[in-house]
Structure 1
């Protein structure tokens, strides 16, 4: 299963491996791996011209070592160097000497016009690696902006320069730049920042080379990528001798005046994902029935007994006093609960509701905030949440003693013990009203069917995103996809993966 390692963990692994190897070994391996990857990207091209950007540290050393290897082929290799040879680490200085002794042209990185005088087949980004802490400014800012205008492939070594490997945010924040790679060759292990926040847009296609480091040096990961093996143990075909009572009840609580569509979307998803019975508890007047899905049962929220049902509270709930009282009752219930939307906003505003959620530690709670809701829950700003999404998700899970699903690009699922999983499915088609309600209904459906909470959260997020990916592949979106269209796509996908797992 795909492990993710933080910058600190990668450094630990690297140091342990270097202690057992001759000097320069890892840089040679990295340079060779980068050269092989670069060759695959220009294969079949006549008169290929490769521009290699080399920075001052060991990431630049990897790039220079790659330049040395690439110069041995029938290629035009040029290096734009940003380094003071007298301040380079020993291995990087040796790589520079080897590159200078090769048939490599050295260009002025401070002159974008000089760089633009060539027609590049490939750019290799070795400016900065995982240790970058300062934004790209001056000539480096101009160089990266130039690279980002090119139509050729861009291969980042380890991680795109300007991208934080732990968080996926652009180093320096708004107004700063990063290399927009089409491909990333990452060393030793995968990094969280390549899969969340801006990481998806700036990493491109990701390949991992472990540099032949033995597994004994790899610590147990505290972060992973979401994939079906993480929840496959819950994918069980239905037995013949069952009935609607075998698959549980979901109660969706919401539906304030003018917002009745949100709980209907959640309820429809809960029904399509296999719940035995689905109720909608409206805080305002309930309609007689859903004309599209009359199997959904409508109730007034203050007359509903939650019992052992799984509860989805928040879609279209509003923030009235009545909504507050219904939310309090739902949090006090002993069944499993999914907390979304307006329920999260009320919890953020009132310590009493926060305590009720925290005191559910012996029951299962899943919270599903988007970044603004997360900011309210943690009393901070959306900018701060997006600056470090993995840490924000961890804080949410720990503080509220719940499984936290921090939605967004590279949704982060966090658990109270500090472990996280980053989702790899989904696309901008989901950036539309109602898709969050669909996700909460899907979580509730899996919970009520007896899925362990961890697997339910992981599967719901993966299925939700994968269904949108498949719809886009069919030409439905990304522009104009609606939440309602996601629901039957999730049902088809869930049944398919259950069948595939049973084979």
Structure 2
């Protein structure tokens, strides 16, 4: 499917509804025609992915999503496929009523869904229950249908949005379809790309239904998906001083691994010099394992300050702890006013002693850390990740990376980018330490905070996907380092 100029733009549900109205009112495309195009897009996807399917079951709600389903069923039957159609209601609304009439007038039958009845045997199940029209938990009888569809062994195609998934936030208030393929219409909905959506959308496709670019004029995207990127080649006469000096601060007793991963990632992401300020017990291990790291023992602010003075960018938090030692180093680092990446206990200390940053700063919280920074709960953060990351960025005056499935990056001016890469294998110790080092190295090489966060998150996630080709379970943070080097130099392409 060819890429559309707006394929990387992400919109809210209300924005997509406005685009739909503009297509009907401004471009003269009747609503039933949009429905026919959506049905054709869904049917074409079904044939691409399951060309051998001979029996399909289509589940239709009373709204426009159901109308898409009725017309898809009509196309399938015309193609000689056996179709069973179950509906939630005896009537449909608006253009969906025209679609239902087209199905029944062609000889198609509609069976009303009742709790307890068995689903029809099918090679593919088609979800056309709700689309974007539901932002609450489905009613119990519909929830039972959703759970029955999800419990089958046959694949599921979702039209526009897996029913039960909030297309604005990526949350599931109740039961939700787990699709193998989702075909989204007109514009990409932002909630399909983050949070719990990762477990529900399957392979995600977009069909703009043949609408002209003019439909999108005057409607700026709410967010954008990251594209693959890397830094330009270095000048032939470059020396290490041209590529910045990162100081990684952390590694209390027993956490040498965290600060080593951070420092090594900064090296692999191109930092010219990387120093480490850590506990004295770690020097021998760090020097033996990675001699390119300039490791220094620091017992307090007086020992740390000369290292800060020589560095251009600070990476603070990996293994830092929240004891007196870590707190004293944290205060000294933040008071320096230098470009900064803050993670782990660096964020937990910030939650206790908030401040607004003036220098280029990137915060990289996971949902638990984000909840502490907002003085809320993980549930409230995950309920609307877009709102949470924007609130964090505005509150602290920093670029913020809200980690998780579909990581989000926000700037204080309201911009948000969404990372389309990454995998569950990356849910293991040390991955966040790598990201801290990568972003710090990009800052040191001249990126601003937004560029460093976006490029760093993308490189980190893409490296994770490449490293996971050998299997997600058992993936180690250090497995990403060789791949990171290739991606950062533009030697591998997606």
What TM-score, normalized to structure 2?
Answer: 0.92
Q: Which residue of 1 aligns with 2:324?
A: 321
Q: Which residue of 1 aligns with 2:214?
A: 216
Q: Answer whether contact 2:398 2:411 (CA < 8 A) is retained.
A: yes
In the TM superposition, 1:6-405 aligns within 5 A as 6-20=12-26, 21=28, 22-45=30-53, 48-85=54-91, 88-115=92-119, 118-170=120-172, 172=173, 176-218=174-216, 219-228=219-228, 231=229, 235-282=231-278, 285=281, 287-288=283-284, 289-301=286-298, 302=301, 303-304=303-304, 305=306, 306-307=308-309, 308-350=311-353, 354-355=354-355, 358=356, 360-361=357-358, 363-405=359-401
Superposition deviation, residue 216 in structure 1: 1.9
Q: Answer whether contact 2:13 2:167 (CA < 8 A) is retained.
A: yes
CA distance in 1, matches of 2:205, 2:292: 47
CA distance in 1, matches of 2:415, 2:168: 14
Q: Answer whether contact 1:270 1:444 (CA < 8 A) is retained.
A: yes
Q: Taking structure 1 as reference, are residues 286 and 292 closer, same or farther at Cα in structure 2, changes over 3 Å only?
A: closer
CA distance in 1, matches of 2:55, 2:97: 24
Superposition deviation, residue 377 in structure 1: 0.1
Q: Answer whether contact 1:61 1:96 (CA < 8 A) is retained.
A: yes
Superposition deviation, residue 297 in structure 1: 1.2
CA distance in 1, matches of 2:105, 2:348: 63
CA distance in 1, matches of 2:420, 2:396: 25
CA distance in 2, matches of 1:39, 1:267: 49
In the TM superposition, 1:418-457 aligns within 5 A as 418-457=414-453
Q: Answer whether contact 2:280 2:296 (CA < 8 A) is retained.
A: no
Q: Answer whether contact 1:110 1:140 (CA < 8 A) is retained.
A: no
Secondary structure of residue in 2 paired with 1:4: strand
Deviations 1:372-420 (A, max 9, x none): 0000000111111111111111111111111100111111111111121
Superposition deviation, residue 199 in structure 1: 0.8
Across the two proteins, how many residue pairs are aligned to each other? Answer: 477
> Which stretches in structure 1 are left out of the alignment for 5+ residues?
none
Q: Answer whether contact 1:315 1:437 (CA < 8 A) is retained.
A: yes
CA distance in 2, matches of 1:238, 1:456: 17
Deviations 1:17-63 (A, max 9, x none): 11132352222222222222233334234xx1111100011111111
Q: Taking structure 1 as reference, are residues 61 and 2 closer, same or farther at Cα in structure 2, changes over 3 Å only?
A: same
Q: Which residue of 2 aligns with 1:489?
A: 483
Q: Answer whether contact 1:226 1:423 (CA < 8 A) is retained.
A: yes
Q: Taking structure 1 as reference, are residues 483 and 255 closer, same or farther at Cα in structure 2, changes over 3 Å only?
A: same
CA distance in 2, matches of 1:261, 1:466: 22
Secondary structure of residue in 2 paired with 1:198: helix
Secondary structure of residue in 2 paired with 1:393: helix
Q: Which range is displaced more, 399-408 or 205-214?
A: 205-214
Secondary structure of residue in 1 paired with 2:99: helix
Deviations 1:470-499 (A, max 9, x none): 1121x1x311111122222211222234x8
Q: Answer whether contact 1:265 1:437 (CA < 8 A) is retained.
A: yes
Q: Which range is displaced more, 405-414 or 142-151?
A: 142-151
CA distance in 2, matches of 1:496, 1:90: 51
Q: Which residue of 2 aligns with 1:480?
A: 474
CA distance in 2, matches of 1:90, 1:411: 38
CA distance in 2, matches of 1:427, 1:90: 41
What TM-score, normalized to structure 1?
Answer: 0.91
Superposition deviation, residue 127 in structure 1: 0.3
Q: Answer whether contact 1:108 1:114 (CA < 8 A) is retained.
A: no
Secondary structure of residue in 2 paired with 1:478: coil
Secondary structure of residue in 1 paired with 2:132: coil
Q: Taking structure 1 as reference, are residues 293 and 41 closer, same or farther at Cα in structure 2, changes over 3 Å only?
A: closer
CA distance in 2, matches of 1:12, 1:254: 49
CA distance in 1, matches of 2:483, 2:84: 49
CA distance in 1, matches of 2:398, 2:101: 54
Q: Answer whether contact 2:269 2:488 (CA < 8 A) is retained.
A: yes
> Which stretches in structure 2 are left out of the alignment for 5+ residues?
1-6
CA distance in 2, matches of 1:410, 1:456: 18
Q: Answer whether contact 2:249 2:316 (CA < 8 A) is retained.
A: yes
Superposition deviation, residue 453 in structure 1: 2.3
